[in-house]
A and B are shown apart, each in its own frame.
Chain A
């Protein structure tokens, strides 16, 4: 099911089958080029498959943007250990709701991507880790897997290719940290989701201590198109060094929030105005978060000339991230936004690393005090100091994910913190009292 109207400005590669009757069924998939890329890949060598993925300039869609072909090439293919394909469907980065749409509307595309990844590293089993809240998505995935077994697209000697592959669904149970790759692997082993030290990276020591490819749902979903139409065609959709499209979740104060598939490099202003229908109630843009609440915030001025790609965002000292675009209008209290974001990270910090556990807790307390009007000028400095002390000092980047947006808000919207001093009432409309978890 689609929860918003598509936009004419979309480039439909991963979403090409969306909207067809029974788009999630294997019959629809097979009638629309489904599993043809797997058959093509089964006649290619692993190096050819990985080469095609490298040519496509596909970068990981889970947030970090690591080149996918390169990641696959790190797996020691000839290792005597079994190899695994793990799908990250934890999707918990605030602002992000695209993997849900991809699985719900076209689960076989994901299965086919996983199979091709399996061919490229000689893996014969895979796990789709899906967040626990997505129970109905788990059911869609299980049904698709059952269909694929029944029609011979999973299991032994798939379609006579001699390739065996088993695929399983694994439910999460409520933990943002389990989206972090190494914590996910711990969780998959039936443990608390705390991060592992790296190196070794999952490519070498991953699921069950074996070599593993771990990618985001959207990353795998791009693979069938890359093999079918060629890596160069996918690369050509994007910009140099970054190919294809990005599933983009427009959220916040736009007239038409929704999930849209846009070319990498899509202009931000056009995305807000034409895809999103502009800012609600004729208001103005105040702040822009490109890809989930972990990304540093941009001001309206900084958005000028920006495009939705890794380089444009890096040049503005933020990140393309997960595709969870958060659009904030000029009537919003940025202190409240900073507080809500920090409450999330403080709730989700797994507690393994002290700078993250203590830093997020104290920042939440100070921001709460600030928002309630009890802040001091010193607190503004203190917030920055605590956040800086978290950066780069933890096993996984959750600490950074909490510190970066906070630092950017304090730096770019310092005047709003000053407005809250001296018991002044919050000058912005969206400023009800905040309940605390």
Chain B
């Protein structure tokens, strides 16, 4: 499998970050960064990461299935994550989530037909004091109102990647 030079450099650094014989430690970070580049954890990626970390594809599959940020299916180019956990709930995070679903016509972990936007109801993302919060890919948005969310979604609908 070929990756961008940046990702190859990242892999090289990761594989040197752990004690000798412990390359398996690099597995989860490698999957995370590779997923960002290729969109999901494919069979091919699993085989590749297994080869580079001295594990089997079965072991990689077993580990990745535990972690909620690693996914086998591609998400939208912009993955909108709405927190409905307790501190956000107290600021109507649940209503915000419903609003987003209605506006996009999709539900939890679904992708719009054009592949542009996906949505997920997520657990606490560490923005509780600035609730309600959402993340678009890795970007945080705080104090999100339905109007602000509309604005964000309208922008994402048209935004090239």
Across the interface, A92 reaches (CB within 8 A) one of B26, B87, B124, namely B124
B134 CB, min distance to chain A CBs, angstroms: 12
Contact A189 to B19, CB < 8 A, known contacts A131-B126, A251-B87: no
A99 to B125, CA, bound (A): 12
Max chain B CB contacts within 10 Å: which of A251, A332, A340, A434?
Answer: A251
Given contacts A3-B130, A190-B26, A190-B53, contact A171 B63 (CB under 8 A): no
Chain B 23-55 per-residue mask, 1 if CB under 8 angstroms from chain A, else 0: 011111101100000000000000000000101
If A173-B28, A340-B84 touch, whether A190 touches B55 (CB-CB below 8 Å) is yes
Contact of A173 among B32, B124, B128, B139 (CB under 8 A): B32
Determine whether B110 belongs to the interface, using a CB cutoff of 8 Å to chain A.
no
Q: Is the CB of B28 within 8 A of A176?
A: no
Q: Do residues A257 and B28 form an inter-chain contact, with CB atoms below 8 A?
A: no
Chain B CB within 10 Å, residue with most, of A171, A188, A258: A171
**Closest B-chain residue to A191, C-beta based?**
B63
Q: Does A135 contact B (CB under 8 A)?
A: yes
User: How long is the Cα–Cα vector from A251 to B139 in the complex, in angstroms?
Assistant: 21
- Which of B85, B139, B142 is packed against the most chain A CB atoms within 10 Å? B85
Given known contacts A190-B25, A251-B87, is B130 in contact with A173 (CB within 8 Å)?
no
Q: Is the CB of B131 within 8 A of A251?
A: yes
A92 near B90: Cβ-Cβ < 8 Å: no
Is B154 positioned at the interface, with any CB of A under 8 Å from its CB? no
With A and B bound together, what is the CA distance between A296 and B24 in angstroms? 39
Question: Which of A95, A187, A258 is the most central at the interface, judged by chain B CB atoms within 10 Å of its CB?
Answer: A95
Determine if A96 and B126 form an interchain contact, defined as CB atoms under 8 angstroms apart: yes
* Interface footprint category on B: 35 or more
Bound-complex Cα distance A336 to B86 (A): 10
Q: Let me know if B94 and A435 touch, CB within 8 A.
A: yes
Q: How far is the CB of A173 from chain B (nearest CB, A)?
A: 4
Considering only residues 161-182 of chain A, those with a C-beta below 8 Å from chain B are 168, 170-176
| A interface with B by C-beta (< 8 Å) | 3-4, 82, 91-97, 99-100, 125, 131-136, 168, 170-176, 187-193, 208, 249-253, 257-259, 289, 293, 324, 326, 328, 332, 336-337, 340-341, 344, 347-348, 350, 430, 432, 434-435, 437
A–B pairs, 23, beta carbons within 8 Å = A3-B142, A95-B128, A132-B67, A132-B69, A133-B126, A136-B138, A136-B139, A172-B67, A173-B64, A173-B67, A173-B68, A173-B70, A174-B70, A175-B67, A193-B67, A208-B22, A251-B131, A257-B128, A293-B86, A326-B128, A340-B89, A341-B86, A435-B94
| The 4 nearest A-B residue pairs measured at CB | A174-B69, A173-B67, A174-B68, A190-B24
